[in-house]
């Protein structure tokens, strides 16, 4: 049985791998769209890249808020 700390570490690694894979796929799609000179493909790849970055921003803000809540509860 894994400890909570080990489970958290595994989850963090898995989350980072998923994010890295998503960004790699978006980068590949962007490169392919540029190579084939597809304006629609470039626009869609850039929108996907923006959505991924915005998701990471919201995730960081949510984690920060959770940490702030935890410190409030301890005091």
- Mean pLDDT to the nearest integer, 36-54: 95
Q: Which two tokens stand for residue 22?
A: 């998503």
CB atoms under 10 Å from CB of 41, counted, come to 16
Mean pLDDT along residues 64-74 = 89
Rg (alpha carbons) of the chain, rounded to whole number: 18
- CB within 8 Å of 55: residues ≥ 6 apart: none
Model pTM score:
0.75
Q: Where are the domains of the chain?
A: 4-74
Average pLDDT over residues 26-53: 96
CA dist 4 → 15, 17, 73 (Å): 16, 20, 20
Mean pLDDT of 1-17: 79
């Amino acid at each position: 049985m894994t400890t909570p700390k080990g489970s958290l570490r595994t989850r963090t690694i898995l989350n980072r791998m998923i994010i890295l894979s998503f960004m790699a796929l978006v980068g590949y799609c962007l490169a392919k769209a540029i190579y084939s000179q597809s304006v629609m493909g470039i626009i869609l790849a850039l929108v996907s890249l923006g959505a991924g970055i915005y998701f990471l921003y919201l995730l960081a803000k949510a984690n920060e808020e959770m940490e702030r809540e935890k410190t409030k509860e301890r005091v």
